[in-house]
A and B are shown apart, each in its own frame.
Chain A
């Protein structure tokens, strides 16, 4: 069973998102900020990280960089609030496997995760 980490500071959203992913058959970890996310990554080694771009302590791109540097095999998806072509390009250059926008579409993510 693939392990997935969700990082977002909106608790209600994280819980629902996690339920959805569990329904899809994944093992889900949750984190509310950058520090928590890095902890989970080090200790649990998820296969895929779904990370919000804006977090209370650090931005998603910093976690992306650190993760990819330490564990290049971990797939990393950034979720951001608004669409911006430039930001998307930059994130992909930094190694993001995909960039998606809120509001998320569960079925789309299901398909995406299967592909990764």
Chain B
């Protein structure tokens, strides 16, 4: 038994089995039926290869070659027929199909003659190889013509289809290309080119992949199959190459026997195969599937980045997106603890239809995660034991094979679930290590984002408090003026004050009341407009040309009342020709609001806040907000931009003001710095690029 025998037998048996298997799936299905004939023809061809190397004499070698060609001659036309059926083009291409069958049958009739195979002669390492007759060349033309047309048809089908159909086409296309490339190694020897039919095994791969593509609806990723075939072929070629070379060298140089050469080549193969496999896997990963190779790197980079994101939506969504891109799982989801109701709710998911899944603390999965703080895996992964059937069933509901706990200070604040990979590859220990790192960082990111969410609400409530007092004062005063005026007139009238007065005088009195009322209502309108403008939530970043002077006024309209109460004087020194800046108006207002409020809170008794605005030589707009407050102690200076850091007393905000201010300044392409001296005051310095 030689290598060629074995690969022939392997191919033959597997093709027959595949053909029958597909056919039995649905006997009435025409695609399956034509596939069956196609597989059968490949099987017959392969059996020829089984018999040929075993042949002891010329005649039996010739007979095996003939058998082989009875199969080979029908491969292209059956394949073509199959592709036409599968792509539903039989009607359109019936003539070409009929011509193909006539050609195949005609050639088949000539196979036993010298017109097809002239003779069997020794060639290179083989004892017998065929010499082509005239018709053989003709056969080759026919063979490649139909194969190439069929492949072209798949390609066209792939271009116009979508979704699952597209991936099926992709499979059939790749499989065909690999299969026929492998198969073509059979032809060079006929023309005395020393290339051996070593990759015949590809033919089985080819027939197998096509069966898989037309039967299955959830397909593996084609990349994985290609990768595996390439690695397999590489190893095969290596083993064969070693074997042939060693046999040749040993017999020619040392005139030693077969046993010796067998021993030497086995040794080389055993030593070389494993490193070669690793190298091939890495090489295919690296050159063909670069993305995949880099996925761990991507995960690691992401871990560094996600920690800086402070928005829960963004944390969760970017994580899911990343996991989807890096691992290609069928499903992935993130559950987050709802502290109020003490249950884990789905925050967002990919590929999960049931979005209402909830896990309570009674869930076995939750209990497991809380207790072990380890990932839960359905099947054992290098040293990590698979979970109990009860937990496994919960995970199956979630379509998950791996669940990673999100732990923060020993509390389970959520978990990440991952489904099977689309590649059908298992999760490895390596994967889990990287994923655990990710989960640890994710916990901190989710925790931070949640905390910030709560704090931002509190901060907003505090700001609303300031504003409510402002509204009361700003609107209450004019209302009081109007109210008193009207009362005064009505009461006077009631008491006969206007009885003896001339009409003109009364009218004048009324006019004066109405004029004052009008003026006061305008004052109210203005203040409500400013407040509404200020309180409007900023949904998106919308840069426009913004005047610093106007925005300072808008901010003062809101915070001004507070300052008045605190008896703080405001000095505006904004030069009238200060250029506008390109920024989001509302964010600029918020920056001034926060900085002015901060300045006011730093002033303990009475004091002055100076707001300066000048344009600098290097095309920057330079703004200073200076207070005569208590200043920032030296040991706190480096911390003031940290979220939640505050030097203020209780009930004066959460310490988010400056961290928000800095974020907003940066978002608007500005810079913020400050100088401070205890007992003298603090100055915040803003610099924005001049707007166009």
- Give A contacts to B, CB under 8 Å: 10, 12-13, 16-17, 19-20, 23, 54, 56-57, 81-82, 102-107
Question: DSSP class of B's interface residues: helix, strand, loop or mixed?
Answer: helix
Q: Which B residues, 461 to 486, have Cβ-Cβ distances below 8 Å to chain A?
A: 472-473, 476-477, 479-481, 483-485
Contact between A106 and B480 (Cβ–Cβ < 8 Å)? Answer: no
Across the interface, which residues of B come within 8 angstroms of A82, CB to CB?
A: 472, 476
- A104–B516 Cα gap in the complex (Å)? 18
Q: Are B491's CB and A103's CB within 8 A?
A: no
Q: List B contacts of A102 (CB < 8 A).
A: 476-477, 480
B481 touches A10 (CB 8 A): yes
Minimum C-beta distance from A50 to chain B (A): 12
Q: Contact check: which of A19, A54, A56, A103 meets B483 at CB < 8 Å?
A: A103
How long is the Cα–Cα vector from A113 to B296 in the complex, in angstroms?
83
Contact A103 B479 (CB under 8 A): yes
Alpha-carbon gap, A102 to B491, bound state (A): 18
Residue of B nearest to A19 (CB): B488
- On chain B, the residues within 8 Å of A81 by CB distance are 472-473, 476-477
Q: Tell me whether B487 and A20 are in contact (CB under 8 A).
A: yes
Please count the residue pairs between chain A and chain B whose beta carbons lie under 8 angstroms apart in the complex. 53
Q: Are A106 and B491 neighbours in the complex by a CB distance under 8 Å?
A: yes
Contact of A23 among B477, B480, B483, B495 (CB under 8 A): B495
> Are A106 and B476 in touch, CB under 8 angstroms?
no
Q: Indicate whether B492 reaches chain A with its CB closer than 8 angstroms.
A: yes
Q: List 5 A-B contacts (CB under 8 A).
A: A12-B481, A13-B477, A82-B472, A102-B476, A102-B480
A56-B567, A81-B473 given; A13·B491 CB < 8 A: no
Interface contact A23-B484, CB-CB below 8 Å = no
A13 pairs with B481, CB closer than 8 A? yes
- Whether the Cβ atoms of A20 and B484 lie closer than 8 Å is yes
Residue of B nearest to A55 (CB): B567
Known: A10-B477, A56-B567. A104 touches B484 (CB 8 A): yes
For A54, give its contact among B479, B480, B487, B565 (CB under 8 Å): B565
How many angstroms from the CA of A76 to the CA of B522 in the assembled complex? Answer: 34
Least CB distance, B570 to chain A, in whole angstroms: 14
B488 partner, pick from A10, A54, A103, A106, beta carbons under 8 A: A106
**Does B497 sit at the interface, judged by CB under 8 A?**
yes
C-alpha spacing A54/B469, complex, angstroms: 13
| 8 residue pairs, one from A and one from B, having the closest CB atoms | A103-B483, A103-B480, A102-B480, A16-B484, A106-B487, A13-B481, A20-B488, A12-B481
Report A-chain residues with C-beta under 8 Å of the C-beta of B488: 16, 19-20, 23, 106
Within 8 A of A (CB), among B555-570: 564-565, 567
Residue of B477, B479, B485 touching A16 (CB-CB under 8 A): B485
Q: Among A82, A102, A104, find the residue whose CB has the most chain B CB atoms closer than 10 A.
A: A102
How many B residues, CB 8 Å from partner?
20
Question: Is the Cβ of B476 less than 8 Å from the Cβ of A105?
Answer: no
Bound Cα distance A13, B565 (Å): 19
List A contacts of B483 (CB < 8 A): 103-104
Question: Chain B's nearest CB lies how many Å from the CB of A55?
Answer: 10
Please report the C-alpha to C-alpha distance between residue A13 and residue B487 in the assembled complex, in whole angstroms.
12
Chain A residue with Cβ nearest B473: A81
Q: How far is the CB of B488 from chain A (nearest CB, A)?
A: 5
Cβ A106 vs Cβ B567 within 8 A? no
Chain A residues near B479: list those with CB within 8 A: 103
Q: How far is the CB of A79 from chain B (nearest CB, A)?
A: 9
Q: Are B472 and A16 in contact, with the CB atoms below 8 A?
A: no
CA distance A74 to B557 in the complex (A): 38
Q: In the complex, which of the residues B477, B480, B495 has the most CB atoms of chain A within 10 Å of its own CB atom?
A: B480
Residues in chain B near residue A13, CB distance under 8 A: 477, 480-481, 484
Once A13-B480, A56-B567, A81-B477 are accepted as A-B contacts, the answer to whether A23 and B497 lie under 8 Å apart by CB is: yes
Residues of B within 8 A of A56 (CB): 564, 567
User: Which chain B residues (144-171) contact chain A, with CB distance < 8 Å?
Assistant: none
Q: Which of B473, B481, B483, B564 has the most CB of A within 10 A?
A: B481
Contacts of B476 in A (CB 8 A): 81-82, 102-103
Does B480 lie within 8 Å of A20, measured CB to CB?
A: no
Q: In whole angstroms, what is the CA distance A10 to B481 when docked?
A: 8
Docked CA distance A56–B561 (Å): 11
Q: When each residue 493-532 of chain B gets 1 if its CB lies under 8 Å from chain A and 0 otherwise, what string results?
A: 0010100000000000000000010000000000000000
Which chain B residues lie closer than 8 Å to A57 at the CB level? 567
B337 to chain A, nearest CB (A): 39
Residues in chain A near residue B492, CB distance under 8 A:
23
> Which residue from B472, B480, B491, B495 sits with its C-beta under 8 Å from A10?
B480
Q: Which residues of B contact A17 (CB under 8 A)?
A: 484
Closest residue to A104 on the B side, CB-wise?
A: B484
* A19 neighbours in B (Cβ, 8 Å): 488
In angstroms, how far is the closest chain B Cβ from the Cβ of A70? Answer: 24
Compute how far the CA of A82 lies from the CA of B565 in the bound complex, rounded to whole angstroms.
Answer: 14
Kindly report which residue of chain B lies nearest to residue A12, judged by CB atoms: B481
Residues of chain A within 8 A of B491, CB atoms compared = 20, 23, 106-107
Min CB distance, B494 to chain A, in Å?
Answer: 10
- Closest Cβ–Cβ distance, residue B285 to chain A (whole Å): 71
Which chain B positions have C-beta within 8 A of A54? 473, 565
Bound form: Cα–Cα A20–B492 in Å? 8
Other A-B pairs, 13, CB within 8 Å; known A16-B481, A16-B485: A13-B477, A16-B488, A23-B492, A23-B497, A57-B567, A82-B472, A102-B476, A103-B479, A103-B480, A103-B484, A104-B483, A106-B487, A106-B491
CB distance from A9 to the nearest CB of B (A): 9
**A17–B482 alpha-carbon span in the complex (Å):** 11
The distance in angstroms between the C-alpha atoms of A82 and B540, with both chains bound, is 37
> Is A104 within 8 A of B480, CB to CB?
yes
Q: Tell me the chain B residues, 561-583 only, with Cβ under 8 Å from chain A.
A: 564-565, 567
A10 CA to B477 CA, complexed, in Å = 8
Q: How far is the CA of A13 from the CA of B481 in the complex (A)?
A: 5
A107→B565 CA distance, assembly (Å): 30
B residues within 8 A CB of A20? 484, 487-488, 491
A58 nearest CB neighbor, chain B only: B567
- Complexed CA–CA distance, A104 and B483 (Å): 8
* Chain A residues with CB below 8 A from B565, complex form: 54
Query: B495 — which chain A residues lie within 8 A by C-beta?
Result: 23
- Nearest B-chain residue to A110, judged by Cβ: B491
